[in-house]
Every structure is written in C-alpha cells, then in structure tokens.
Chain A
C-alpha cells in the first residue's frame, strides 16, 4: 500500500496542476491524502477547493485543521486510507468471486468473517507513506507542528505488525521543485528535526513536487531496505537475524 500525504496551507502557484499530478499518482497505485493547515486567517476559497480536489483525484481524504489537531489528523487519515484501500480490494474480490456487491450485502455471520480478514490485512500489509511538506514562507510558523505530526505518525507506523516506512520531502527545494529530507525509514529518531535549516521561499510548486514523489516510489521500487543507514532500527521483531534481504518494497 502506497500513500502520499501532502501537508500544505495554500494554493499551488507554479507548474503542473497538483490535481492532475494526484490523478497520476492514483493511477499508479498511490493514494494521495491532503492535510490543509491553518491557524489564523483562511485558506481562501481557491486553496480550500484545491485541497479537496487533490484528494479526490488522488483517491484519498482531505482535512483542513489547526496545527493543534495536525498530529491526530495525519495519523487518522493514514489509518483510514489503509482501511479504505483494503475495503476496496475486498469488495472487488467479493464482486468477482461471489457475485455480491459489497460487505453490506453479506449476512452478518459471513460479514464477521470477512471483516476479520480485512482487519488482519490492514494490520499486516506493507505500508509506505511519503510525506510531502509545503515549506513555502507562510508555513514557517507551522513547521514545529508538522515535525511533531511526523514523529507521531512514525510512532503509529512502528507499532504496526506489517512493514511500515515513511519518507519525507519538502517543497520548494533549494534548487529543484522538491527535496528529499529522509529516505524510506521506519525509525523515529531520524525524523527528528528535519526542517531546522530550511530556507523558506515564496513559490508553491505543488504539482511538480507531487510528480517528483511519484518518481521516487518508482526509483525505490525493488530496492533492498538494507541500504538504509540504520538497518538495525528497521527490524522491529527480534526473530529475524540480520538484514531482511528478501524484503522487496
């Protein structure tokens, strides 16, 4: 299961439409969720509707929240999307194999069984979440809350039974549309203070940044996890000795 979580506070203003980029992501099997953060003022009609549109095109959820609610929201959106993705797959299966429309049309005892399987899948299926952080000038006072939300999310990811990874990008980058801050990792420590050295700029190239993240999913596809700098922290259970070289992302 692949997800992109975009955290932003306003409309894009450079390059490709982020809605089109999100549609592209969804087409390639990556769900796009959007958290719109605002504390005072408003996102503006344009910003708010763009946030909703990006999530819609990306098959995900959008929420507009204050910095205080950000951690809980990010964590919940990720979880809900996992549940949603599995539900979709299971309903598809039900249609093809049993000719029923959805879980709803099953009698309760059968339903109980299907839901049990779905829960198991939700907990154990591998999950990758790429966080894409808007670091344009207006986001500066919110970055502390963003860092906290990232720390909080990785705490929840670490607790899952299935392999769970997060990567962090911010945009705009120094020279490019988007910069990779932390490659796929499951350890929280590495996601500590990512943005301390950031130089904020005014433009918001959300679309191009999304495209860069989609490409990153492809680049890292098939690579072995052990390239990570802290391989030990990736092993959540002690029953594996050394690297999990067979882990294909």
Chain B
C-alpha cells in the first residue's frame, strides 16, 4: 500500500478532510514516527499536530489508542489528545490522517545538553508519574526512548508517539532493541509496568552515558547480554551512581508499583543532592592544602630563627 504520503509534503499544503470537512494547513515537519510523518499544522487559528500515514489500519489503531486514553483519563485536567480522524486527497491519492494536540518541546537529551544534567532528577520523576497514570489506566507505553520523551519549559515532560502503546498483559508490538528487556535477557516481552521501568532505566543510561552504552551493545555477545552489564555502567557513571539503588530495582523489575518506582526515584534524587552539597560545607581541599603549607613554612622559619 504505497501512497504519496511516503514523501514529505511542502509547508503550506492544505488538507481537506473528506468525512468531517475540516481544513488543515501544514506548517512544517515535526518528525517521522513508526507509521508516518507528523506535521505541525494550523486549523483555523489554533495549532495542532497532524499525522499522515501510509496505512489506514495502522493509523486508525493509533487514533483508537489516543481516543481510549482520552476516554479513560476523562477526569484528568488536560485537553484531549485526539482531535480528528479523516482522509485527505493529495496529488490524486487518498491519505489517511489524524489530528492531535501539539506537544512543544525537545527530546530529553537535547534538553539536558542545554540546561544541564541536574534536570534529570525532576524530569525522571515526572516521567515516572506519567507512566504511573498510564499504567493505572491499563496501558503500557512500551516504546519509551529518547525520541519519544519531549521536554519543554522547566522540565515539563510529554510522551509522544503512542503507536506502540499496548494493553497490560498483551504482547509488546513495537520496541527499540536497546531499550527492550527481552534483548537484555531481563524478562519477557509481555506488556506490564515492569517493561516500562526497564526502558526508563535504559533511557537514562542512553541519555547520560550514550557512548559507553552503544559500545557495550556493539561488543557484547548476545548470550552475555544481562541487566548486570547495564548496572555496571550505572555504578561507574558519576551522575547515575547515586541512583544505582533505583536502577537495580528498575532493571530487575523489583518495584511493587510504578508509584513506588516514582517515590524511590524522588528519594534517590534527594539523597544524591544531599551527598553533593555535603563536601562543600567542609573546608575545601585547596584551602586545607594552603593552610598546611603555610604552617610548614612557619615552623621551618621558626626553626631557622631559633637554631640558625
């Protein structure tokens, strides 16, 4: 099923919905997801994101997930994700699309590069809180990775690309190898909260220690892949080390709930910041050094004066 949506559409392209009649103007390409391209678009005076797909059923499946999330999270104080599902005719070919809420932000790695790794604490906590909401609604995000976690002002987080989201208990259908616990011989490919904990742990290793993680995946033989290898990276990384208790539990699926995972993260982050601030309250090493040198100087001068 090849349609013209395989290629990018130029900014300014108008999409007219065949069924609902709404007109969208494409502004720019935001990204390419698993089943199609996502554009920033305007509908009247409001902005939204429009995903154009290659395949009607794949796209509808994603729209169904968003609709179901909107339904199950009805009480939540947020705008609905899914705004419209329709088909448009572009260059004589029918293209299925859906419109959704536009999520501003940059990937978590880009955000930390700009604002510093100390933001990982709050972002990680918010991510786990969001996952906990999804898990409570019966969904496992499953394809959690750097590209799918967008961060905006003051560390606000949003998950994007819900195409891989899977009902609790079902088989994971979309994943990225290095984030997959099956790949690391750390458990099944069944969608359950612990599957997301594992990817969340890999996410932080990938974001904060990418070089060593990729080196590990390249050099490790398949039969030697083990969560212990990932833990070894954590314990030798200065930013991650203080959180190694959390990583141990996340990589081995040892939390009782996602809420507990979030709490444990929060406590670990506080512990890490306390540990960091302690050495600075003591006398810095250079000052102690200067003091020792001056004392030595003083003693030797006295010795010269007395016995010289």
Residues of A within 8 A of B (CB): 71-72, 79, 83, 87, 103-104, 107-108, 111-112, 115-116, 118-119, 123, 144, 148, 151-152, 155-156, 158-161
Measured between alpha carbons, how far is A115 from B85 in the docked complex, in Å? Answer: 13
Which of B104-112, B145-153, B170-178 lies at the binding interface? B170-178
Measured between alpha carbons, how far is A71 from B175 in the docked complex, in Å? Answer: 12
Shortest Cβ distance from A240 into chain B, in angstroms? 16
Residue of B nearest to A192 (CB): B223
Shortest Cβ distance from A91 into chain B, in angstroms? 10
Measured between alpha carbons, how far is A161 from B183 in the docked complex, in Å? Answer: 20
Residues in A neighbouring B94, C-beta threshold 8 A? 104
In the complex, are the beta carbons of B189 and A155 less than 8 A apart? yes
In the complex, are the beta carbons of A108 and B85 less than 8 A apart? yes
A-contact bits for B207-243, CB 8 A (1 contact / 0 none): 0000000000000001000000000000000000000
Shortest Cβ distance from B163 into chain A, in angstroms? 12
In the complex, are the beta carbons of B61 and A104 less than 8 A apart? no
Shortest Cβ distance from A41 into chain B, in angstroms? 22
20 pairs from A and B in contact (CB 8 Å cutoff): A72-B177, A87-B57, A107-B19, A108-B60, A112-B63, A115-B57, A115-B61, A115-B64, A116-B64, A118-B57, A151-B222, A152-B182, A152-B183, A155-B189, A156-B182, A158-B188, A158-B190, A159-B191, A160-B170, A160-B171
How many residue pairs link A and B with beta carbons under 8 A? The number is 65
In the complex, are the beta carbons of B61 and A158 less than 8 A apart? no
Residue of A nearest to B223 (CB): A148
Tell which of B20, B86, B87 has the most Cβ of chain A within 10 Å. B87
In the complex, are the beta carbons of A104 and B85 less than 8 A apart? no
Q: Report which of B19, B20, B56, B171 forms a contact with A156, defined as CB distance below 8 A.
A: B171
Interface SS of chain B? mixed
Q: Report which of A87, A111, A155 forms a contact with B182, defined as CB distance below 8 A.
A: A155
Tell which of B63, B177, B182 has the most Cβ of chain A within 10 Å. B182
Residues in B neighbouring A83, C-beta threshold 8 A? 57
Q: In B72-98, which residues have CB < 8 Å from any A CB? A: 85-87, 94, 96
Measured between alpha carbons, how far is A115 from B57 in the docked complex, in Å? Answer: 6
Shortest Cβ distance from B66 into chain A, in angstroms? 11
B31 proximal to A (CB < 8 A): no
Listed from nearest, the 5 A-B pairs whose CB atoms lie closest are A159-B171, A159-B189, A108-B85, A115-B60, A148-B222
Q: Report which of B61, B86, B177, B190 forms a contact with A159, defined as CB distance below 8 A.
A: B190
Given contacts A112-B60, A144-B222, A159-B190, contact A123 B171 (CB under 8 A): yes
Residues in A neighbouring B86, C-beta threshold 8 A? 108
Tell which of A71, A79, A115, A148 has the most Cβ of chain B within 10 Å. A115
Given contacts A112-B67, A152-B182, A159-B172, contact A104 B190 (CB under 8 A): no
B117 proximal to A (CB < 8 A): no
In the complex, are the beta carbons of B64 and A112 less than 8 A apart? yes
Measured between alpha carbons, how far is A227 from B84 in the docked complex, in Å? Answer: 52
Residue of A nearest to B173 (CB): A79
With A108-B86, A152-B182, A159-B171 given, name 7 new contacts (CB 8 A).
A104-B94, A108-B20, A112-B64, A119-B61, A123-B171, A160-B170, A161-B170
Tell which of A71, A107, A119, A144 has the most Cβ of chain B within 10 Å. A119
Measured between alpha carbons, how far is A160 from B169 in the docked complex, in Å? Answer: 9
Tell which of A83, A87, A111, A156 has the most Cβ of chain B within 10 Å. A111
Residues in B neighbouring A79, C-beta threshold 8 A? 173
In the complex, are the beta carbons of A104 and B96 less than 8 A apart? yes
A-contact bits for B99-119, CB 8 A (1 contact / 0 none): 000000000000000000000
Residues in B neighbouring A123, C-beta threshold 8 A? 170-171
Shortest Cβ distance from B220 into chain A, in angstroms? 12
